[in-house]
Chains A and B, each alone.
Chain A
Amino acid sequence: MQTHLVLRTLQGDEKPDNAVQALFSVQPSGRAVVFVHGFSGDPIKTWSDFHILLPAAQQCVGRDLYFYGYDGLRANMTSSAALFRDFLDRLFEQPGKIVNRNLPSDAQRKENFQYMELVLVAHSLGAVITRRALLDLTLLGRPWLSKTRLVLFAPAHMGASVADLAWETVSNFRFLRFFGAVARFESPLIDQLKPGSPELTALLSETQIACQNGANSHLKARKVVIAEYERIVRNDRFASDPPPVTIPDTEHTTVCKPRVDFLRPVQLLEEIL
């Protein structure tokens, strides 16, 4: 049985919509999952094969799946977070508009279509972007934030040495990492993601303040998944997040890439859905 329509890029000439891929459910339940890739990643490639395996999962049948895209190589972290914040705002405030302009006429939804739950799944730098966006939305007092839930894969919120990942943006040749690709590459993210950087320090302290006395539970991750052989990010615990779950035999970039013969990332996400 077909659970989702064909993968499509959201319509629109401007960022971020033209970099967002979506799988819309054919039996929408008002729930969605938004995947946010990490440093240098690609909206689909980072999470491959979530886009193939997840639609078939029982808990996902009615959920729309968004694969959010942004410039994870050269763009400033705070700017990327602001763009994502705007996207989330529109997804909650005008979901019918976003969804219906991207659906064929046979699949149009009611004008009053709303999302009652949004699970944000972020990898690496995506975790920092997502946390910053949620924090800023909290300061703005958005009432729908309680409908969001956060799941993180190999988050970079405690710092990362990301230049080693630069090769991932420009090619699929993984072996480039042995050839000094780092030396060729410049990005504001290298400094912004250093452990103890002003941006990460502010993110942690503002989150701790916002979560005092159990407030703003949407800022606390529901699940944190880390790689056994992590060389890129620091795995220290962030604020009041739960202790992480480790997936054996994975690295920073493989921990979020399920395959038919490696379903652990999908199973861990399903536990939250």
Chain B
Amino acid sequence: MNIQGANFEDILHFYFERRSAATATQALEQMIANRENVQLADLLRNHSEWPVYSRRERYLRACVDDLLLGCDILEIGTLTGFIPGPDGSEFWSRIQSILENKQVRRYFEEFYPLRLPQLLALRLEGRLRQSVAESPVLASAVVHFLALDRGFMRNLNDSYLLSMLDSFKIRGHRFKDVVELIGQPKVFIKRMFLPPGRCTIPDLALQELSQFFQFSIDLEEFLRSLDGSPLFQSEVWNHYSYWFERIGKKLNRRLGDALDQFLGWRPVNPDERAAVEIQAYVARARGVIETLTSRRYCEPVERALSHSR
């Protein structure tokens, strides 16, 4: 079996054949081929200078974000030798032509800096050749990471919770509504047990909150297991840097508010174990979020970028 080839096909299937990434690839290729530079610059503008209200534009930009997430995975896969590196084949040429486009570059270099697509672009230009030394546990670590990431992509990437943490209001609901719910244990439990068809947006966000804390705990544990591979470790963290770096402060504060609510919970039948368990959970979750939103894992990728430019 050609294992690298199989891994590559798996990654393409999961990250690039999704409707969103495929839509972005097609739309960007078409605009680049037609030299629609002004339209492309409009689409990929900095939203803080010129807000994005059009539903179509929002959708296409979300598709581009998904495409760039896929580029993260290609970079991590190439760095670790999990997939064959860029070989000039049709797929890689298509990715290269997108990543080297001036307007696309401004989007992921200037407006919304994403380091892994930048590294991949350098790799495609032949200016980055770094790889992680092969070791018996490397491939299983990548398999582990991809399992973690698939869970994130499936349950959290497009979730109400992350949108709310990113300051979006969803059909009138904000993250503070979720925090308020956590402050009422009886209501919280009732809502957690609603059958799927009867859940409102805050109910779903509550369930996603539990998933996000668990994901963060698993991610932090995984990152610690990569202490011997700082660049790989840093690339994995950078894959989630939108959440833990770009909006990290906001995320830290808001999740902290949510965790604080749990500390006020008192069981109907006094049980010392409840308070101990809640305090331990809150302390652990808070510590994990603080670690992830710090820049502890940032530097190796930054260094690789500055050395290759």
- Interface of A toward B, CB cutoff 8 Å: 1-8, 23, 26-27, 44, 51-52, 55-56, 74, 103-107, 166-167, 170-176, 178-181, 184-185, 260
Query: What distance in Å separates the Cβ of B166 from its nearest Cβ neighbour in chain A?
Result: 22
The 5 closest A-B pairs by CB, nearest first: A2-B139, A104-B9, A178-B274, A171-B210, A106-B5
Query: What distance in Å separates the Cβ of A25 from its nearest Cβ neighbour in chain B?
Result: 10
Q: Which residues of B contact A2 (CB under 8 A)?
A: 3, 7, 82, 139-140, 143
- Judged by a CB distance under 8 angstroms, whether B265 is at the interface is yes
Query: What distance in Å separates the Cβ of A113 from its nearest Cβ neighbour in chain B?
Result: 13
Binding-face segment, B172-180, B184-192, B243-251: B184-192
- Cα of A107 to Cα of B6 in the assembled complex, Å: 6
Closest to A171 in B: B210
Query: What distance in Å separates the Cβ of B6 from its nearest Cβ neighbour in chain A?
Result: 4
Closest to B218 in A: A48
Query: What distance in Å separates the Cβ of A20 from its nearest Cβ neighbour in chain B?
Result: 14
Query: What distance in Å separates the Cβ of A150 from its nearest Cβ neighbour in chain B?
Result: 26
- Cα of A4 to Cα of B190 in the assembled complex, Å: 41
Closest to A4 in B: B143
- Judged by a CB distance under 8 angstroms, whether B146 is at the interface is yes
A175 engages B277 (CB within 8 Å): yes
Query: 0/1 per residue, B128-158, Cβ < 8 Å to A?
Result: 0000000011011001101100110000000
- Interface of B toward A, CB cutoff 8 Å: 1-3, 5-7, 9-11, 13-14, 82, 136-137, 139-140, 143-144, 146-147, 150-151, 185, 189-190, 192-193, 195, 207, 210-211, 213-214, 225, 262, 265, 267-268, 271, 273-274, 277-278, 281
B143 engages A6 (CB within 8 Å): yes
Q: A7-B146, A184-B190 are in contact. Are A173 and B185 (CB under 8 A)?
A: no
B211 engages A170 (CB within 8 Å): no
Q: Which residues of B contact A172 (CB under 8 A)?
A: 210-211, 213-214
Q: Which residues of A contact B150 (CB under 8 A)?
A: 6-8
B192 engages A171 (CB within 8 Å): yes
- Cα of A185 to Cα of B265 in the assembled complex, Å: 20
A173 engages B210 (CB within 8 Å): yes
- Cα of A168 to Cα of B207 in the assembled complex, Å: 12
Query: What distance in Å separates the Cβ of A202 from its nearest Cβ neighbour in chain B?
Result: 29
Q: Which residues of A contact B207 (CB under 8 A)?
A: 170-171
B13 engages A104 (CB within 8 Å): yes
B6 engages A180 (CB within 8 Å): no
Q: Which residues of B contact A166 (CB under 8 A)?
A: 193
A180 engages B268 (CB within 8 Å): yes
- Can you list 17 A-B pairs, Cβ within 8 angstroms, ordered by A? A2-B3, A2-B7, A3-B140, A5-B6, A5-B7, A6-B147, A52-B144, A103-B6, A104-B10, A105-B9, A106-B3, A166-B193, A173-B210, A175-B278, A179-B267, A179-B274, A184-B189
B10 engages A178 (CB within 8 Å): no
Closest to A8 in B: B10
A185 engages B193 (CB within 8 Å): yes
Closest to A23 in B: B143
A179 engages B277 (CB within 8 Å): no
Query: What distance in Å separates the Cβ of B209 from its nearest Cβ neighbour in chain A?
Result: 9
Closest to B215 in A: A172
Partner of B193, one of A6, A104, A106, A181: A181
Q: Which residues of A contact B3 (CB under 8 A)?
A: 2, 5, 26, 106-107
Closest to A25 in B: B1
Q: A6-B147, A178-B277 are in contact. Are A170 and B192 (CB under 8 A)?
A: yes
Query: What distance in Å separates the Cβ of B188 from its nearest Cβ neighbour in chain A?
Result: 8
Q: Which residues of B contact A180 (CB under 8 A)?
A: 189, 267-268
Closest to A7 in B: B147
A178 engages B147 (CB within 8 Å): no
Q: Which residues of A contact B136 (CB under 8 A)?
A: 1
B193 engages A178 (CB within 8 Å): no
A55, A170, A172, A180 pick with most chain B CB within 10 angstroms:
A172
A174 engages B144 (CB within 8 Å): no
Closest to A56 in B: B140
Closest to A259 in B: B221
Q: Which residues of B contact A171 (CB under 8 A)?
A: 192, 207, 210
Q: Which residues of B contact A107 (CB under 8 A)?
A: 1, 3, 6
Query: What distance in Å separates the Cβ of A227 from its nearest Cβ neighbour in chain B?
Result: 17
Query: What distance in Å separates the Cβ of B203 from its nearest Cβ neighbour in chain A?
Result: 10
Query: What distance in Å separates the Cβ of B122 from its nearest Cβ neighbour in chain A?
Result: 26
A55 engages B143 (CB within 8 Å): yes
Partner of B6, one of A106, A170, A176, A185: A106
A104 engages B273 (CB within 8 Å): no
Query: What distance in Å separates the Cβ of B106 from its nearest Cβ neighbour in chain A?
Result: 33
Closest to B5 in A: A106
Q: Which residues of B contact A27 (CB under 8 A)?
A: 1
- Cα of A133 to Cα of B10 in the assembled complex, Å: 32
A181 engages B211 (CB within 8 Å): no
